[in-house]
Structure formats: C-alpha cells, structure tokens
Amino acid sequence: MVALSYVTASNERILKTFPDGLVAVFVGGTSGVGEYTVKTLAKYASKPRVYIVGRSQEAADRIIGECKKLNGGGTFEFIKADVSLLKSVDDVCRQIKSKETAINILFESQGSMGFTQKTPEGLPLASSLVMHSRTRFILNLLPLLQNATSLRRVVSVQAATCEGHIDLNNITGQGFPLSKWRDQLASVQSLLLEEASRRAPNVSFVHTMPGIVRSGISRDAQGLKMSILFGIFSIIQPLVETPPTECGERHVFYATSAMYAARQDTTGVALENPLSTARGTDGNQGSGTYSIDVKGESASRKTEEVLSQFRKDGTAEKVWDYLMGDFKKITGTEVAA
C-alpha cells in the first residue's frame, strides 16, 4: 500500500518539479473521480492549462469556479461534448490541437452503467466509453503527449487489477453479469494501454481502480436488477467508499509521480524512501503500463499471468484489431486527421 501521507508529500513537490503551464485534458471531468482530480491538480500545479470535457455545463461552471479559487493563475476551459460518439471525440481533439502543441496529462474517467443502451453510432454505450472513446482520445492526442517535455502521462480510471477472461466472441461483454463484464473490460483496457505504450514508449499509461466513490456513473442505469443493486449499495457505500479528497490526491499522484514512469522516460515527481518504481503489467519494474489498485499497488502476479497469456495466444492483437475495425467502420480512419 502507498500510504496517503507519501501521496500528499509527492503532490506537494509538483510545484518545484514541473514548470509553469502543465497542460491537462480531463475527459469525464464534470463529476466523480475526474472532478476530484482536476480540483486537486489545481491545488498543486503552477498556472496549469486545463481542459474539462463532459456533458454538463452547470457542473463545469461550478468546478471551474472552484478551481479558479484554488489557482488564480490557472486556465480552465470546458468543452461540452458527448464523448460516447467517436465523431464527437474527434471534434474535441481537433479543438484541443488548435490551441495546444503539447499535452502533459490525458486523464480519462468517462463511463456509464447504461448496459442496455446503444450510442447513435451503434455501439454499446457502457463498453464503448471504456474501449472506443478512451482509445480514440489516446490515439488522436498521442502526438501532443509525445511533444511534451516535462511530463507525458495517460491515466485511465476503470477496474485495474480485476483483469479476467476475455470472450473473443463478445468483446464488449453484452449481456454479461456485472462482475464478468468488469473483469473482461479491465483486461481489454490494460491490453489497449499496452499497445499504446508500444507505439509511444516515452509516454506512461496508468490504469487505475478508484474504489467506491461518489459519481454520476449510475445515471444511465436501467432495470429492476440495477435498481435493487443500487438500493443495497446506497446502504453500504458510506462504510466502504474512498473519500473525494483521498481519491483526488491519489489520482494526481498517479498522474505525476515517477513511481509510474514511462518505459523510456523517468520524468515525474522524484521518489523518496520508501517508494520505488512500480511493477508494470508485464511484471517488470518501470515498464510503462501499470494496473494499479485502490491504494496504488501494482496488480498481482496472477493478474500479470492472465495478461501474459493474452499476449501469447493472440487475444491482445485480436482485441486491438476489433477496435480498429469499429473505428474504420464508423469514422473511416483509425486516427482522426
């Protein structure tokens, strides 16, 4: 476990570690983990330029107001978009590219529990936000991440360390029980990040497990089973949830600490004892792609073996090809122009 005291001590060194003007893009930043993290970054960074991407103008106005109180020198801009649509993702990326030549942090927490819904582009809503939307943002913005000089990092908030079996006949997990869907999508997410890391070894990719936090992810949930589940969950949540402050501190740490460095670049807030570089998803220290639990520890050896088998038997390649096929079918290209 990475103690919270080490996390906050590292975050307090952000100001001295990085120059003014860190550029960060928060997708899904108008509630939950994204909101907590953007406000925590505003607390620590010097004159950051932050883009918050989401659907709620009202929430964005509130968050930006709070961020400006924390950091009067920072710039905080809202981009309103439905990022379940790949064409909207491409449009958001074009807007960012028109204003920035480099990005330091791409933070993605967009998600939904609308398991029975589909997007207007024909993709299953819940799965596409994790698989399609996040990967499209990464590929579109990867050149800007690689252009950065002081920090290059992608953080994807999902179900890290829960990686499990992948059904290649149903990669999006349609109709799966919740736990089976979670475990499969966790594997898919880690494999997609590994492929992105191979393409950009100077960028670090961190897949996180936030624990139980208050967020808007359940807004799209439908059906009696989900109603019962959330009724039970509302009773136990206060006993097991991660407080917003801790959630924000830990995710800023994941986004800035050298503990989760890129494979070919150790940029980040320098480590102090007893912390050391984390073990990546391939089982090697500092390998550039990480699956991190709620307390900042790397996935178990058992989880690493699961991912290793996917690389050996061709599952990883098939997952990537499946996604690229959907990209081409819907947008005509693997990456936006």
In a domain, 333, yes or no: no
- Asked if the structure places residue 129 within a domain, the reply is yes
Compute the distance between CA of residue 98 and CA of residue 132 in angstroms, rounded to an integer.
23
Q: Is residue 337 part of a domain?
A: no
| pLDDT tens figures, 259-316 | 999 999 889 999 999 999 999 999 999 999 999 999 999 999 999 999 999 999 999 9
Residue 335 included in any domain = no
In a domain, 285, yes or no: yes
Q: Which portions of the chain are predicted below pLDDT 70? A: 215-240, 337
pLDDT of residue 259: 98
State the pLDDT at residue 220: 55
Q: What amino acid occupies position 242?
A: T
> What pLDDT was estimated at residue 60?
97
pLDDT value of position 237: 56
**Residue 222 structural domain:** 4-327
Task: Give the pLDDT of residue 212.
Answer: 79
| Residue 334 counted as domain residue | no
Number of residues that make up the chain: 337
Q: Is 265 helix (H, G, I), strand (E, B) or coil?
A: strand
Q: Is the dihedral of CA 241, 242, 243, 247 positive or negative?
A: negative
pLDDT in tens, 222-242: 555 555 555 555 555 555 678
Q: What CATH number corresponds to the domain at position 314?
A: 3.40.50.720
- What's the number of domains the chain is made of? 1
Q: Among residues 296, 279, 318, 74, which one has the least CA distance to residue 191?
A: 318
In a domain, 318, yes or no: yes
* pLDDT of res. 112: 85
Residue 242 covered by a domain: yes
pLDDT at 92: 98
